[in-house]
Amino acid sequence: MNAERVMEMDQQNVMRTYGRVPIVFEKALGARVWDKEGKEYLDFFAGIAVNGVGHCHPRVVEAVCRQAATLMHCSNVYYHAPGAELAARISELTGGMKVFFANSGAEANEGAIKLARFYARRVLQQERFEVVTTLKSFHGRTLATLAATGQPKFHQELQPLPPGFRHVPFGDVDALAEAVGPQTAAVLVEPIQGEGGINMPPDGYLADVRRIANQAGCLLILDEVQTGMGRTGSFLAHQQDGVAADIVTLAKALASGLPMGAFLARPDVAEALKPGDHGSTFGGNPVVAAAALAGINVLFEEGLLENAARVGNYLQQGLKELATAHPTVREVRGRGLMLGMELSAGAPAVVDECRQRGLLINCTAGNVLRFLPPLIITESDVEQALRILHEALTKVEAQLPIA
């Protein structure tokens, strides 16, 4: 089937919720993807931060094939070794947190919010139900996680959304301190806002958020769906801030390309959940668990956290050098391999120009170019990407009306 036919069938039969780019991908390996016409792309998008260990890493492929041929699914009514081993590995990496496996980031956050409410009522024995989150945040597409998401554009025409959410500006400690109170079950924040535009909080923000949550007697939930799994140079981003969370949510790169989410909690917080309180038919099934376990082993055994930090600095430096040559660049920001370049205009056109030249990036929050490459990329991949980006910026800037 040729690319035109694929797009035509999709357009006729799939609901139009995505603004799809007209490419049909056929195969991928490492940091490269090929379309149906055989054109090669350097992937600095990684399926929105999912292909952390690169596309089709042989150790992940092997684990998935072996597990799929052995036991593909058995439901959470029974035990299975990949799930137990994965939970033990995650616990070891997070100072003993307990895990619930879901299928996506939204579900992970939904479960985390439920846990915070159960904890307040059952353990604290208080009528706390509210969750305070930040403006420009993104926490998912279910009704509760949309209500948690601090972007009014996602709320339009969906009211009434579930009550119990309050939003404060990201990075504003005073506003947060004012918003929490005896009604607050949890504060929910991303260590670095992803969809909101790769927004970095001021230094010490997470420590301040922790202190405010402690003073208010509520839980701290960190949404590491995009920042987690090594992307910023540590397994979880907040591990670099010297702050402990009560609940952490993960998804995206967790199972190296297969759908998986999870919420993790301190054991005493996790105790608030009893059999029957929460569940998922597929959550943590043997195949995704085997993929996640293999991917985590790759992260550590192949030094990908160090690579994300080192090559991330190299990329950030290169982007900052480009910024000096391009008048539309307002700011370069981010950490590790989660980087953003804010433009004054033309970001979607730059994304298109990059794609035509064989580089995949995306644009978020209107005018922020976002770079989320697999953590395996090398300095020479970065140089190729910077060359393409330079050409794309030059072309788009030449077409912009002079201000």
Ligand X SMILES: Cc1ncc(COP(=O)(O)O)c(C=O)c1O
Contact residues toward ligand X (CB under 6 A) are 48, 104-106, 109, 138-140, 190, 194-195, 223, 225-226, 251
Active-site residue (options: 43, 208, 223, 246): 223
Q: State how beta strands 184-189 and 130-134 pair.
A: parallel
Is 25 designated active site? Answer: no
Q: Based on CB atoms, which residue is closest to ligand X, 111 or 194?
A: 194
Cβ burial, residue 7 (10 Å; 0-12/13-18/19+): middle
CA angle 213, 333, 53 (to 5 degrees): 85
Q: By beta-carbon distance, which residue lies closest to ligand X?
A: 105
DSSP category for residue 125: -
Supply the DSSP symbol for 154: G
Distance CA 122, CA 110 (A): 18
Cβ closest to ligand X, residue 318 vs residue 374: 374
Report the residue number, 179 or 225, with the smaller CB distance to ligand X: 225
Asked if residue 116 lies in contact with residue 148, where contact means CB atoms within 8 angstroms, the answer is: no
* DSSP states of 208-222: HHHHHHHHHT-EEEE
Residue 82 one-letter amino acid = P
Instruction: Give strand pairing partners of 219.
Output: 186
Please state the closest distance from residue 236 (CB atom) to ligand X, in A: 13
Token digits of residue 280 = 């998922």
Q: Which of 45, 101, 118, 138 is catalytic?
A: 138
Query: Pick the catalytic residue: 208, 252, 263, 371?
Result: 252
Q: In angstroms, what is the minimal distance from the CB of 187 to ligand X? A: 15
Tell me how far, at minimum, the Cβ of 261 lies from ligand X, in Å. 6
Q: Residue 288: which residues within 8 A CB-CB, separation 6 or more?
A: 101, 255, 258, 259, 260, 282
Q: Give least dist CB 288 to ligand X, A.
A: 13
DSSP output for 312-338 = HHHHHHHHHHHHHH-TTEEEEEEETTE
Residue whose CB is less far from ligand X, 104 or 184: 104
Active site residue 35: no
Task: Give the nearest distance from C-beta 172 to ligand X in angstroms.
Answer: 19
Which of 83/105 has CB closer to ligand X? 105
Pull the structure tokens for residue 267: 């054991």
Active-site residue flag, 138: yes
Give least dist CB 137 to ligand X, A.
Answer: 7
Min CB(364)–ligand X separation in Å: 9
Give CA–CA dist 178/171, Å, rounded. Answer: 13
Q: What is the C-alpha separation between 53 and 14, in angstroms, rounded?
A: 29
Residue 83: closest CA among 245, 255, 253, 247: 255
- Closer CB to ligand X, residue 99 or residue 349? 99
Helices in 156-272 by DSSP H: which ranges?
173-179, 205-216, 267-270
Q: Which is nearer to ligand X, 223 or 381 (by Cβ)?
A: 223
Give catalytic residues, as residue numbers: 138, 223, 252
